[in-house]
């Protein structure tokens, strides 16, 4: 069965510092990986997906199949990046089922 | 479009009762998924429906059931409520599956269920 692990519950950085939110997964097939974000008092929304290979709000994530990781990175954190971040994996053999990690709360201090 | 809508926003029930949660997808979306999010954890997949047919089911007991209507709205039903069913229940809608690529799921605000 697939599994997504986010080892850090909380990550606190200062504004302008680099950010890396870790995500590791286990999956027997060819995974599709996502990062979802939830800002305060807002609904869960897609931040980026690995097949898009694009940068959203300065964030990037590279799928490393050898290390089974999909870490989210941003070179310079902004206060508005403070939010809850969830890594998720899609099992295309079961429709659009998403398996989420436990989430990491990012706090960017001024 | 208001996005995915869910009702009610909050709900308080007692053990053993039954609850029905409702979801309206984004206009044009034919797929609806349900997730349970217990406090401090990530969302956990319960069901997915596409064109009124169940396409996926997570590891939840038979007390959980769902259905999708001709207008693509959906209901999640939970019978014989337990304290452990207290959670935020999220609904997500998406377009039809696009080949091997998962279509983006758009989430609603959730229904907060408290079981006393």
Condensed to tens digits (0 to 9), the pLDDT of residues B26-71 reads: 998 889 999 999 999 999 999 999 888 998 899 999 999 999 999 9
pLDDT at B96 over 90: no
CA distances (Å), B50 to each of B15, B30, B35, B68, in order? 31, 6, 15, 8
Burial (Cβ within 10 Å: 0-12, 13-18, ≥19) of residue A45: middle
Tokens 């809508």, located at residue: B5
Instruction: For chain B, give the mean pLDDT.
Output: 92
CA distances (Å), A79 to each of A82, A105, A106, B39, B61, in order? 6, 13, 10, 24, 42
pLDDT at A74 over 90: yes
Write down the pLDDT at residue B90.
Answer: 98
Provide Rg for chain A, Cα atoms.
13
pLDDT at A91 over 90: no
Rounded to an integer, the average pLDDT of A10-38 is 93
Q: Residue A17 and residue A108: Cα distance in Å, rounded?
A: 9
How would residue B100 be classed by pLDDT, with cut points 50, 70 and 90? very low
Rounded to an integer, the average pLDDT of A84-106 is 88
The share of chain B scoring above pLDDT 90, in percent, equals 77
Tokens 């229904």, located at residue: B111
Quick check: A49 and B104 CB within 8 A? yes
Among A96, A100, A103, beta carbon nearest to B103? A96
Among B42, B56, B101, beta carbon nearest to A102? B42
Which chain B residues have a beta carbon less than 8 Å from that of A96? 31, 33, 48, 55-56, 94, 97, 102-103, 105
Quick check: A98 and B45 CB within 8 A? yes
Nearest to B18 by CA among B103, B100, B74, B75: B75
Q: Residue A71 and residue A29: Cα distance in Å, rounded?
A: 19
Spell out which chain B residues touch chain A, with contact meaning CB-CB distance below 8 angstroms: 3-4, 31, 33, 35, 40-45, 48, 50, 55-56, 58, 90, 94, 97, 100-110
Quick check: B48 and A95 CB within 8 A? yes
Which chain A residues have a beta carbon less than 8 Å from that of B74? none
């Amino acid at each position: 069965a697939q599994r997504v692990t986010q080892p850090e519950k909380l990550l606190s950085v200062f504004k302008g510092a680099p950010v890396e939110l870790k995500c590791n997964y286990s999956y027997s097939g060819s995974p599709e990986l996502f990062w979802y974000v939830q800002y305060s008092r807002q609904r869960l929304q897609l931040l980026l997906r690995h097949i898009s290979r694009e940068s959203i709000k300065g964030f990037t994530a590279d799928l490393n199949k050898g290390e089974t990781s999909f870490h989210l990175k941003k070179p310079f954190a902004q206060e508005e990046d403070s939010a809850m971040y969830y890594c998720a994996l899609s099992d295309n053999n079961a429709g659009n089922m998403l398996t989420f990690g436990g989430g990491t709360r990012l706090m960017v201090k001024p | 479009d208001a996005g995915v809508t869910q009702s009610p926003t909050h709900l308080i029930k007692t053990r053993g009762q039954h609850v029905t949660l409702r979801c309206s997808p984004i206009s044009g979306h034919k797929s609806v998924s349900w997730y349970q999010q217990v406090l401090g954890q990530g969302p956990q997949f319960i069901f997915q429906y596409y064109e009124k047919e169940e396409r996926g089911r997570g590891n939840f007991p038979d007390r959980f059931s769902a259905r999708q209507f001709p207008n693509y709205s959906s209901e999640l039903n939970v019978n014989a409520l337990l304290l452990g069913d207290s959670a935020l229940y999220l609904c997500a809608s998406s377009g039809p599956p696009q080949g091997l690529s998962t279509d983006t799921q758009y989430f609603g605000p959730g229904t907060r269920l408290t079981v006393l």
